[in-house]
Amino acid sequence: MKRLLVVVVLLSLMLLMRSFQAHTDAAHNVITLAAIGFVVLTTFAVADMGTRLSLPRVTGFIVTGVALGPSAANILSHEVVTEMRMFNTLALGLIATSAGLELSSKAILPLLKTLGSTTAVKVLVGAPLVGATLFAASHFIDMGVTTFESRAALATVIGVLSIGTSPSIALAILTETRAKGRLSDLVLGAAVFKDLVVVVCLAVGVAAAAAILDPSGSIDASVLVHVGRELAGSLIAGAALGAILIAYVRFIQAEMLLFVAAMILVVAELCQVFHLELLLVFISAGFTVRNFSPYEHQLLKPLELVALPVFVVFFTIAGASIQLSTAWAIMPAAAAVCLVRAAVYWAAASVGNTVGRESRDIKRNAWLAYLPQAGVTLGLVGIAAQRLPILGPQITTTGMAIVAINLLVGPITLRLALARAGEIPGVAGHATGSSSTARTTLPNHATQTPTTRLSEALERHVTEVQASTRASFFAVWDSLNGSASEQPDEPTQDERLSVVRAYRTSVKDWYEDWTAALLSLPIEVNVARPLSSLAPRSGDRRGLRFRLWSQRVWWGLSEHFRSRSVPVRLCARMTIELTVAKVAVQLFDAALKRRFAPMLSVASDTDRASRMQQELDRAVNEFARLLGSSRTARMRSRDLNFSVIEPHVRAQIAHLDETRDEMHAARAGALWGSEVAQRYVDELRRSVNGLLGMHLSGPTRAAISLTTAAIGRLVDDLSELGRNMQSSSSLELMRVAQHEFNQAQLRVLDALSQCIPRALHGVRELGSALRNDIERLPTELRCYQLFESVTEPQGTIRRVNLREIAETQLSRRLMPTLDQSARTLANAFVHLPSTVKACLEPASLLLEASSDDVTGWVGVRQRLQASSSRLTTLCESMISQVEEEIDRQEVSTLASLDALEREVSTSQLLGETTTHRLRHRLGQLARHLRPSFDLRKPEQAGSPDARELLLVTSRWLHPSVGRDATGWFSQQPVRDERIYSDCAKTLERVRQLESGWREGKRVAVMVSGEVGSGKTSLTAQYVRARTA
């Protein structure tokens, strides 16, 4: 009501302003600014009111635009609308950049199948059908085209234009509803992808239309080349723009909003100059930022701030641009075209979703999401009209009318599709209240609180399931741990295979036992339904409230409605089975790790077990919740659908499949390789530390202790000499001093002369010893990625050249550091003798001092004491210097060894992972193609017999081959004579022999051959023929 009041007030003000407008002869329409403000407020208010009718805001914007625009109320005059179009470029740029920022390659790649096939159907079937519809309609409705050629040309262009889906509406609705999920990704991906396709198709379509109109003309290949150039140029320009954006965010990141707006406007002008596709450039730029940098949030933040005003103005202008009178005249034809387009989209979405194996919700609703058309298509209509001036007005009118319908209807259908697919937060899904991202996420029953406390019977079942699941889990855990705790040695491929098979059998048995135990649960249990469970809650939707009300009524009328039947077994399957399958895979994985790489296991066994146990407990809790809410008004019977869970369970169990034994064995080998690599690294660490002690730090410490001892003695001598100075005769002192000091000097210098080269020599010896160690390292070791987060085993096995890594880290990085340290140590010792000599100077003075000169003696004594203390200080500083240097050596050695370990963990990871992924994808492709090739290759082209077929099929066991078909090539005898085609000659020969026997000849027939060669089949066939 308040907003309505605001609208009325603003509308009155606008009308009042028109009458008081100061002057209208200005260079610009002075009311434009007020009109923009009015549009922003009014449109948003109206759109907000529309949301109460469950209409998307975008529809509200468009409807308001239509109502206020020149075709209707004319509050926004034609001039104002024209002036407001200056926002279009900015808006399109912002929308396209935001769309690009939403496109993660990781999210898009899995959609390619669906998108590709959907678009292919739209292009190949949709465009011709829509064109044909328009062609037919033009016979009945006056569309300004009279000749066959002009009708055909118009139909061609409009047919092509019908392919598009609006990225701006898609983004606006996704932003408004905050929808997330597979359908959201599909819609955005489709809108962007089809934008590419429609540009190419339009170029071709316009060329074709021109050729139809002018029979002397022809479609030139240069059209495609030109379009190709434009597209390639746009993509490259977009990538460059993305790089600029990344650089700006990385190095400047100031005034982001202004920068982005300025960039969009400048680039839009450049696009015009260089004939680039504006949308593609910005989508590509956003895509680059999203996928090649971590800065998408810094860019999205300012865009989100202005997104709403931009959407409001953009869509209002789009609505106001619709010429109602013109569109109305050909509305029946446009409506027919839109209906056919919708039908084609339904078919295209069905095909695409089937090919892409999308979930049921997506299959049902995707076509609704593809319907919107808006600004981009309007722009393309303008381009087409410009390129075909003869048909310009007709293309514009028809295109506008069709876009008008899709513009009004599209946002509603898109929102509906997202809501029905359960991708809008806070809106219950159509089918199960579950997410449509069935491939990746599962229904979140945690959000559905039980309507009642569980009855005793149900509680008992929950307890039983929990107890049995726990018990069986711990049993299999213990059994796997028992077999996995053997010490690993170098396993052969066969050994690895046998271990893998044993583990697989254990966990699969556990899974199957658990599913078998489900049979002990009752199918359904009847429990009482209290009236309180039918009370509505705040936030309940109208439909739900109505259901609750009607059930309350029935509850009072009929006994039947006072109880409910709970499908216990189904609930258990829906909630716990997938978790059990996942835990089975985790158990298998943990057992492999424990067996082949116990050192590398990041998590302890207890942690792993408790994590898995918690998962199982959560699933049981979920089971309890589901029991509480199933078959109530809040969750009806049809919402319980195991088919949603089943593909995921199957996918999990497929991880344990026999056909993957070799892959698991290879992974086990890689795990073992990682273990070995870690051992080598540890061994090398020990060796380097030992060598460091033996060759460098050991000798140096010995040298320093020797030097310290020598200097200590010298200090003692000096102190003694000082004490005896007064009591001894000068001659005696002279003798002692001369003797002692000469000896001391010799000892100190001798010690130093020994330790300096030893230190340097030690480094050389350490280097050669290290080289010997490194040469023993393997050059190729298959390792497994150590990070827990990576779950795809096939993508994480890599080859590690341990020797090369060690060579780089130790010889090239560590050794120069050690050499430098040794030199520093040597320098410390080199300067020592001169310092010691300087300290001894007082002693030589002593020899010259006169015994009678008391003053001279006192001075000499003081000098001796000073020398003594200097030597002590020197000794201490030297010790600390050398200790420091040794510590530094050890630190750098440790750093090098850590770097080595890191490099072993991560080397070649990126390249290898990419290669493995590529190889995996190529492998998948090859597996698809192989059967066709094998069956068609020259040697098979004649008439392959069963054995040959068996050989072929045994190599390409593929899930797409049905059970019946694989049965044809199995080892079992053929019972069905229709498919018995082998050994016709042999059978004939037996028949001949039988005829001979019947004629009295002595005949004995022995059928021999390898296992599976068809002996039993032959005999059975013969007997069957005889019996018949």
Partner 1 sequence: MNVTLLLVALVVFAFVFGQLLHRLVARHVSLSGAEYLLVGVLIGPHLPPRLMSEASLVRLVPVMHLLLGLVGFLVGLRLKHSLKGGRGVLVGISTTLVTFGVVATASTSLATMLLRADGPPVFNQILFGGSGWVFELYASRSHLLVGAAIGVVATVSSSGLLLGLGDSLKLKSATFDVLRSTAALGQLFAICAMGAVLALSREPPTLPVEGFGRWIWLLAAMALGLICGGCFTLFIGKEEGQSRIFLATVGTVTFAAGTGATLEVSPLLINLIAGLTVSMLSSHATVLLQELDRLQHPIFVLLLILAGAYWSPVSGTAWWFPVAYIAARLATVWMSAWVFTSWFTRDPFANRVGAGLIVQGTLAVSVAVDYALGTSQYGAEVLTAALIGTLAFDITSASGVRRLLVDAEADTLSLTGTRAPSAEKGAEAGL
By the criterion CB under 8 A, which residues form the site for partner 1?
A: 2-3, 5-6, 9-10, 13, 17, 20-22, 26-28, 30-38, 40-41, 44-45, 86, 89-90, 255, 257-258, 261-262, 265-266, 269, 304-309, 312
Cβ nearer to partner 1, comparing 176 with 589: 176
State in angstroms the smallest separation of the CB of 414 from partner 1: 20
* Residue 165 backbone dihedrals phi, psi, to 5 degrees: -125, 140
State in angstroms the smallest separation of the CB of 435 from partner 1: 24
Cβ nearer to partner 1, comparing 6 with 223: 6
Q: Which residue's structure tokens are 């050729």?
A: 211
If we measure between CA atoms, which residue out of 719, 755, 919 comes closest to residue 828? 755
Quote the tokens at residue 862.
């003081």
Cβ nearer to partner 1, comparing 36 with 696: 36
For helices 167-177 and 375-387, what crossing angle results, to 10°?
Answer: 170
Cβ nearer to partner 1, comparing 36 with 66: 36
- Cα-Cα-Cα-Cα dihedral of 856, 858, 863, 865, to 10°? 160
Cβ nearer to partner 1, comparing 232 with 257: 257
State in angstroms the smallest separation of the CB of 18 from partner 1: 9
Name the burial class of residue 891, with classes exposed (0-12), middle (13-18) and buried (19+) by CB atoms within 10 angstroms of its CB: exposed
Cβ nearer to partner 1, comparing 59 with 506: 59
Cβ 175 vs Cβ 187: under 8 Å = no
Cβ 647 vs Cβ 761: under 8 Å = no
Cβ 811 vs Cβ 836: under 8 Å = no
Helix (H) or strand (E) holding 277: none
State in angstroms the smallest separation of the CB of 901 from partner 1: 45
Cβ nearer to partner 1, comparing 219 with 306: 306
Cβ nearer to partner 1, comparing 5 with 599: 5
Cβ 342 vs Cβ 370: under 8 Å = no
State in angstroms the smallest separation of the CB of 228 from partner 1: 29
Whole-angstrom distance, CA of residue 872 vs CA of residue 850: 28
State in angstroms the smallest separation of the CB of 94 from partner 1: 13
840-849: long-range contacts, CB 8 A cutoff, minimum separation 24 = 840/714, 840/741, 840/745, 840/867, 841/867, 842/718, 842/866, 842/867, 843/718, 843/721, 843/737, 843/741, 843/867, 844/741, 846/721, 846/725, 846/733, 846/734, 846/737, 847/734, 847/737, 847/738, 849/730
What lies within 8 Å, CB to CB, of 104 at 6+ separation is 290, 291
State in angstroms the smallest separation of the CB of 313 from partner 1: 10
State in angstroms the smallest separation of the CB of 477 from partner 1: 49
Cβ nearer to partner 1, comparing 85 with 113: 85
Cβ nearer to partner 1, comparing 23 with 560: 23
Measured at the CA of 812, the angle between CA 808 and CA 814, to 5 degrees, comes to 100
What lies within 8 Å, CB to CB, of 317 at 6+ separation is 65, 81, 84, 85, 87, 88
State in angstroms the smallest separation of the CB of 276 from partner 1: 16
What lies within 8 Å, CB to CB, of 335 at 6+ separation is 405
State in angstroms the smallest separation of the CB of 9 from partner 1: 6
Cβ 87 vs Cβ 314: under 8 Å = yes
C-alpha distance from residue 799 to each of 242, 371, 782, 819, 921 (Å): 35, 50, 5, 32, 20
Cβ nearer to partner 1, comparing 41 with 894: 41
State in angstroms the smallest separation of the CB of 799 from partner 1: 51
Cβ 190 vs Cβ 434: under 8 Å = no
State in angstroms the smallest separation of the CB of 8 from partner 1: 10
Can you give the three-state secondary structure of 804-843, one letter per residue?
A: HHHHHHHHHHHHHHHHHHHHHHHHHHHHHHHHHHHHHHHH
State in angstroms the smallest separation of the CB of 298 from partner 1: 15
Cβ nearer to partner 1, comparing 30 with 355: 30
State in angstroms the smallest separation of the CB of 38 from partner 1: 5
Cβ nearer to partner 1, comparing 281 with 585: 281
Cβ nearer to partner 1, comparing 35 with 199: 35
If we measure between CA atoms, which residue out of 374, 370, 351, 356 comes closest to residue 418? 370
What lies within 8 Å, CB to CB, of 400 at 6+ separation is 322, 323, 326, 327, 378, 381
Number of H helices, E strands in the chain: 39, 4
State in angstroms the smallest separation of the CB of 584 from partner 1: 46
- How would DSSP label each residue in 29-98? -TTHHHHHHHHHHHHHHHHHHHHTTT--HHHHHHHHHHHHSTTTT-SS-HHHHHHHTHHHHHHHHHHHHH
Cβ nearer to partner 1, comparing 255 with 988: 255
The b-or-e profile of 512-533 (16+ CB within 10 A means b, else e) is: eebbeebeebeeebebebeeeb
